[in-house]
Structure 1
Amino acid sequence: MELSEILNIAVMQGFAGLSLFAVLLLMGLGLAIIFGQMGVINMAHGEFMAIGAYTVFLGSTLTEKYAPDLAPVYFPFAICAAFVFAFVGGWLAEWALIRHLYKRPLDTLLATWGLSLALQQTFRTFISPKEVSPTLPDWLMGSWAPQEGLDIPINGMFVMMLTLLVTGGVMLALYRSRWGLRVRATVSNRPMANAVGINTKKTDRLTFAIGCGIAGIAGAAFTTIGSTGPTSGSLYIVDSFLVVTFGGAASLLGTAASAFGIAQIQSITEFFMTGSMAKVFTLSFVVIVLMFRPQGLFASKIRR
Structure 2
Amino acid sequence: MGTYTLFVGQIFNGFSVASLFVLAALGLALSFGLMRVINMAHGEMLMLGGYLAYLTLLVVPGPFGILVAMPVAFIGAALVGAVIESTVIRRLSSRPLDTLLATWGVSLILQQAARNIFGAIGVGVTAPEWLNHSFRVESGLLAGLNLPATRIFILAVAIVVLAGLGLLMAKTRIGLLVRAVNQDRFMAGASGINVRQVDLAVFCLGAGIAGLAGVVLALLGPVTPNVGQTYIIPAFLVVILGGLGSLVGTTIASVMVGLFSALVQIFVDVSMSQVLLLLFVIAFIQFRPQGVIAVRSRALD
Give the shorter-chain TM-score range.
over 0.9
Q: CA deviation at 1:203?
A: 0.6
Per-residue CA distance 1:281-300 (angstroms, 9 max, x = gap): 01101101101111111011
Q: Is 1:185 paired with 2:180?
A: yes
Q: CA deviation at 1:12?
A: 1.5
Q: Is 1:152 paired with 2:147?
A: yes
Provide the TM-score with structure 2 as the length reference.
Answer: 0.96
Q: CA deviation at 1:62?
A: 2.6
Q: Greater CA deviation, 146-155 or 23-32?
A: 146-155
Unaligned runs of 5+ in 2: none
Per-residue CA distance 1:206-239 (angstroms, 9 max, x = gap): 1111100000011111112222110000111110
The aligned counterpart of 2:247 is: 252
The aligned counterpart of 1:68 is: none
Equivalent pair of 2:126/2:219 in contact (CA under 8 Å): no
Pairing partner for 1:85 from 76, 91, 116: 76
Pairing partner for 2:52 from 52, 55, 58: 55
- Read off the aligned partner of 2:237 and give its amino acid letter: L
- In structure 2, what is the Cα distance between the partners aligned to 1:57 and 1:19? 22
Equivalent pair of 1:86/1:213 in contact (CA under 8 Å): yes
Q: CA deviation at 1:96?
A: 1.1
Q: Is 1:241 paired with 2:232?
A: no
Per-residue CA distance 1:26-81 (angstroms, 9 max, x = gap): 111111101111011000100001111111111122334xxxxxx01111110111
CA RMSD, 1 decimal: 1.1
Equivalent pair of 1:61/1:134 in contact (CA under 8 Å): no
Per-residue CA distance 1:82-101 (angstroms, 9 max, x = gap): 10000000001111111000
Q: CA deviation at 1:22?
A: 0.8
Q: Is 1:131 paired with 2:128?
A: no
Q: CA deviation at 1:13?
A: 1.6
The aligned counterpart of 2:30 is: 33
- In structure 2, what is the Cα distance between the partners aligned to 1:11 and 1:232? 28
The aligned counterpart of 1:206 is: 201
- In structure 1, what is the Cα distance between the partners aligned to 2:71 and 2:280? 36
Q: Equivalent residues in 2 for 1:271-282 (5 A)?
A: 271-282=266-277
- Read off the aligned partner of 1:257 and give its amino acid letter: I
Q: Is 1:143 paired with 2:140?
A: no
Q: Greater CA deviation, 160-169 or 8-17?
A: 8-17
Q: Equivalent residues in 2 for 1:63-82 (5 A)?
A: 63-64=60-61, 71-82=62-73
Q: CA deviation at 1:181?
A: 0.7
Q: Secondary structure at the match of 1:144?
A: strand
Q: CA deviation at 1:269?
A: 1.3
Q: CA deviation at 1:171?
A: 0.6
- In structure 1, what is the Cα distance between the partners aligned to 2:173 and 2:46? 26
Per-residue CA distance 1:211-268 (angstroms, 9 max, x = gap): 0000001111111222211000011111001000000011111001100000111112
Q: Secondary structure at the match of 2:135?
A: strand
Q: Greater CA deviation, 205-214 or 125-134?
A: 125-134
Q: Is 1:102 paired with 2:99?
A: no
- Read off the aligned partner of 1:84 and give its amino acid letter: I
Q: Secondary structure at the match of 1:271?
A: coil
Pairing partner for 2:3 from 6, 18, 24: 6
Unaligned runs of 5+ in 1: 65-70
How many residues align structurally?
295
- In structure 1, what is the Cα distance between the partners aligned to 2:6 and 2:273? 18
- Read off the aligned partner of 1:32 and give its amino acid letter: A
Per-residue CA distance 1:111-148 (angstroms, 9 max, x = gap): 00000000000110011211221122100111012443
Q: Is 1:220 paired with 2:219?
A: no
- In structure 2, what is the Cα distance between the partners aligned to 1:85 and 1:284? 37
